[in-house]
Structure 1
Amino acid sequence: MATERPPTPETPPTPSATPAPETPLRVLLPQILPALVVGVGSGLLFLGISELADQLQELMWNDLPDALGVGHYSSLWMIAVLTATGIAVGLIVWKAPGHASPDPATEGLGGPPLPPVVVPGLLAASALALAGGVSLGPESPTIGSAVALAFWLGHRAFPAVPGAFWVALGVAGTLGALFGTPIAAALVISEALASKPSRGSLWDQIFAPLVAAGAGAMTTQLASSPSFDMGLPPLNNPGYEDVLAALVLATLAAVFGLLACYVYPHLHRAFTRLGHPMLVLPLGGLVLGLLGALGGHLTLFKGLHETQEIVAGIGTLGSGELAKLAVVKLAALLVAGSCGFRGGRVFPAVFVGAAFGLCAQALVTEINPTVAVSAAVLGVLLATTRQGWVSLFVAAVVAASPAMIAVLCLASLPAWLVVTGRPFLQLDEDGRALR
């Protein structure tokens, strides 16, 4: 059988010869500009919705109470504001195009892009919930809106580019904006890619998302300097006792978070049976107001500033008060997510973990507060999100001590054994817990 001759200057290449693949440089360079645009746009979107929520919060919790002569955080005012917030969000969910997104209990960080017509309703419902004191964070609605807009605009400008590219940029850009650093986005994208067939170098795959995350992070850093620094005392030389405390606390906090995960689908089913959003959300707002009256104003809102407040008061709150804060905040998170308020679950879970850790530290004062808070935050996040890298990242940022990273990595192992294969705070379309 004749063999095929190699091409020479006198012999043109045979039709079976394949062209050389494009070099990574030629593939990656054109991705930079779209990634920068999406990253900056995601940062501006986050800043805009945050500013709107802050202005509404000032009106609801300061200006109106002053005008009416009532206490800013009196029990009656908390119940009234949260019930009114439920009515307002219920109207948006009922009347807005696309009902302001699918059931948020089924949504995680990312997901298929929403139609752009849904975005205004989703952002309005999210801003009202954030301002009204609902125990949810801005992450899920902001990511969903950024992904929808990036996908719609990107597909119109470059129809040949796969939709997954724009989704990854929207998720990464918003995560960078939310945390003020691209690291969280890199961890989330890397974790998502781990379950897919390899398509070359990991860094080639996350190059554009990292550009978007960096642009989003710098946008918010330049405008507002976001920070997860809780003011915990630095721990530069953790000892064996710190490692042991972290192992135990992360595991116990994971168990505490799992209890909520088992309750979540049943509570969601109970609210869903009411059927209409104008029944479900006002009732949810009323329940949240009653929980706020029970737990106090620290159990309201997304929880970031409130976490800083309880950490600043180490030694002034007793173990019973801290336990109440952790339980009430976790209950408020469950109710808010079950009844259809639009918002994310990461930020409130950080407060739950911090209160749990400080409660343990108040009971066993020999435990270092930094170890107690960061390990408990790690355990609660692992249980509720099942996002290992994000949980480690947030716990390490809360600790603000590089030496704690090794301790937290070790503490994540027994906590992961507790939570893996068990439900977390997200449901499928039939209302069953995801595992």
Structure 2
Amino acid sequence: MPATSVTEPGQGDARVGLHSRGYLVLLLVAGLLGIPLSLVAFGFLVAVHELEHVVWHDLPHALGYAGPPAWWPIPAIGAAGVLVALAIRHLPGHGGHVPVAGLGAGATPPADVPGVVLAAGASLVGGAVVGPEAPLIAIGSGLALLAVRRTRMGADATASTLLAAAGSAAAISAIFGNPLVAAVIFLEVLGLARRELMLVVLPCLLSSGVGALLFTGLGRWTGFEIGALALPGLAPTRLVAADVAWAVPLAFGVAVGTWLVYVAGRRTARLAESHVMGATVGAGILAGAAACAYALITDRSPVEVALSGQATLPALASDPGAWSTGALVALLVCKAIAYAACLGTFRGGPVFPALFLGAAVGALAAGALPGLVLLPALAIGMAAGMAVTGLPVTSVVLVVLLLGDAATSLMPVVILAVVVALVVEELLSSTARLPRPGRRPVASGAAS
């Protein structure tokens, strides 16, 4: 057994000791990897943001438009579909994680990273309705394995698996702005026994915590600026009986709607398995057409339907009155169509579009259901939408972070909405004999 092995003599991989020399060395390596991997993730997000600005702002302006015209998403997302399909066909790893499978957290072979970067970058920049969280997990995992590939630790399957998880945690904390979110995600996604869970979560916490110094700053250095996850301008509010009473039916409705979107996404994923180019480009054109239809119907920007929704969510939460009821309905329907088209074909994560759709339903409900006010409605909608991805604790944590100072008083309806949504999703999937969103197990020996 190599000197850096995390396995105790005479014991299997599941019996790793927290006090063993090998595991302490592994924790040290995880901490050292935290900053460079967080920096790479930050660079990826900056590059995506800048290229999004070019595609959705600079190019339309250069062509004489004040903003992207209604038809702009059709060629933009369609062209992204071509790049994604080429990455799936010709690069190792098939472009990375399929969003409809949930939030993947398996070890990514280093050779797959270029395909992940190309496919996810094209999806995000082109305007596909997916988020950046799953690609960050894959990039962090693959680069962590690459860093130790030629070391003794890289030859140990258990050590490689744990460092892959730590690398993913360091990378994903760059988008959520909080290292605890990364640890919570891995706690749920991996589905490990208690002892195994401790072994994985500690490197994740250490790597993401050290990497967070890039954003929190140290001493006189203020750190790199990243967008705060909390939605701005949300004042604390007290729950009333109507808020609690409406939590169950509203969460039920959001869960059913999101589940239907996932059913459509799984069907497009199956189609894409045998017709990669046609299905991916077709999905991009359909998503673009949905954004175009929204812009033509409402005379608003098609960007509100295209992209993940992360940038539009603060505006929706702080000023839903900027949309008429008809515009909100159009936004919800068109975004759901685009999300369903992209879920099984493009590459990215499912989190932010699900949160956005839930928030849109909440905004509509606040204006239609008697006694229900905006903030609890948003909390219920976002929690139920996110919960259908199959991560209940992560759903609660993310919604609480989004709500900021208003979260404390809204925790009861957030938790109630998550529980209701998960029960509904489980019931519908069992009845229809459909698998729940996939939870990819941590792969051993993925360091090749």
1:380 aligns with 2:385: yes
Structure ranking higher on relative contact order (CA contacts 8 Å, 6+ apart): 2
Task: Rate the CA distance shift 1:254–1:67 in 2: closer, same or farther, 3 A.
Answer: same
User: Secondary structure of 1:351's partner?
Assistant: helix
User: Secondary structure of 1:234's partner?
Assistant: coil
Match of 1:131 among 120, 125, 132: 125
Q: For residue 311 of structure 2, what is the aligned residue in structure 1?
A: 305
User: Secondary structure of 1:359's partner?
Assistant: helix
Q: For residue 30 of structure 2, what is the aligned residue in structure 1?
A: 35
On the 8 A contact 1:234/1:399 being kept in 2, the answer is no
Q: For residue 262 of structure 2, what is the aligned residue in structure 1?
A: 261
Shift of 1:101: 3.1
User: Secondary structure of 1:165's partner?
Assistant: helix
Shift of 1:71: 4.8
Q: For residue 19 of structure 2, what is the aligned residue in structure 1?
A: 24
On the 8 A contact 1:233/1:369 being kept in 2, the answer is no
Aligned-partner Cα distance in 2 for 1:300–1:100: 21
1:122 aligns with 2:116: yes
Shift of 1:300: 1.2
- What's the CA shift string for 1:271-291, capped at 9, x where partnerless? 445x242x3332222112101
Shift of 1:69: 1.7
Q: For residue 395 of structure 2, what is the aligned residue in structure 1?
A: 391
Shift of 1:204: 6.2
1:179 aligns with 2:183: no
Letter of the aligned partner of 1:324 in structure 2?
Answer: A
% identical equivalent positions: 25
Match of 1:334 among 330, 340, 362: 340
Query: What 5-or-longer segments of structure 2 have no aligned partner?
Result: 1-15, 217-222, 295-301, 441-448
On the 8 A contact 1:319/1:363 being kept in 2, the answer is no
User: Secondary structure of 1:223's partner?
Assistant: coil
Shift of 1:379: 0.6
Match of 1:79 among 74, 82, 86: 74
1:27-106 alignment runs, 5 A limit: 29-101=24-96, 105-106=100-101
Task: Rate the CA distance shift 1:85–1:148 in 2: closer, same or farther, 3 A.
Answer: same
Query: What 5-or-longer segments of structure 1 have no aligned partner?
Result: 1-20, 430-435
Letter of the aligned partner of 1:376 in structure 2?
Answer: G
Task: Rate the CA distance shift 1:163–1:301 in 2: closer, same or farther, 3 A.
Answer: same
1:237-316 alignment runs, 5 A limit: 237-273=238-274, 275-277=275-277, 279-295=278-294, 296-316=302-322
Shift of 1:362: 1.8
Letter of the aligned partner of 1:288 in structure 2?
Answer: A
Aligned residues: 402
Task: Rate the CA distance shift 1:97–1:199 in 2: closer, same or farther, 3 A.
Answer: closer
Shift of 1:166: 1.4
TM-score for both structures, normalised by structure 2: 0.81
1:419 aligns with 2:425: yes
Aligned-partner Cα distance in 1 for 2:138–2:100: 13
Task: Rate the CA distance shift 1:28–1:96 in 2: closer, same or farther, 3 A.
Answer: closer
Letter of the aligned partner of 1:349 in structure 2?
Answer: A
Aligned-partner Cα distance in 2 for 1:205–1:365: 47
On the 8 A contact 2:172/2:182 being kept in 1, the answer is yes
Match of 2:159 among 159, 162, 168: 162
Aligned-partner Cα distance in 2 for 1:23–1:121: 35
Aligned-partner Cα distance in 2 for 1:126–1:397: 25
Q: For residue 369 of structure 2, what is the aligned residue in structure 1?
A: 364
Q: Which runs of 4+ in 1 moved over 6 A?
A: none
Q: For residue 187 of structure 2, what is the aligned residue in structure 1?
A: 190
TM-score for both structures, normalised by structure 1: 0.84
Q: For residue 11 of structure 2, what is the aligned residue in structure 1?
A: none
Letter of the aligned partner of 1:152 in structure 2?
Answer: L
Aligned-partner Cα distance in 2 for 1:271–1:168: 28
Q: For residue 6 of structure 1, what is the aligned residue in structure 2?
A: none
User: Secondary structure of 2:150's partner?
Assistant: helix
User: Secondary structure of 2:108's partner?
Assistant: coil
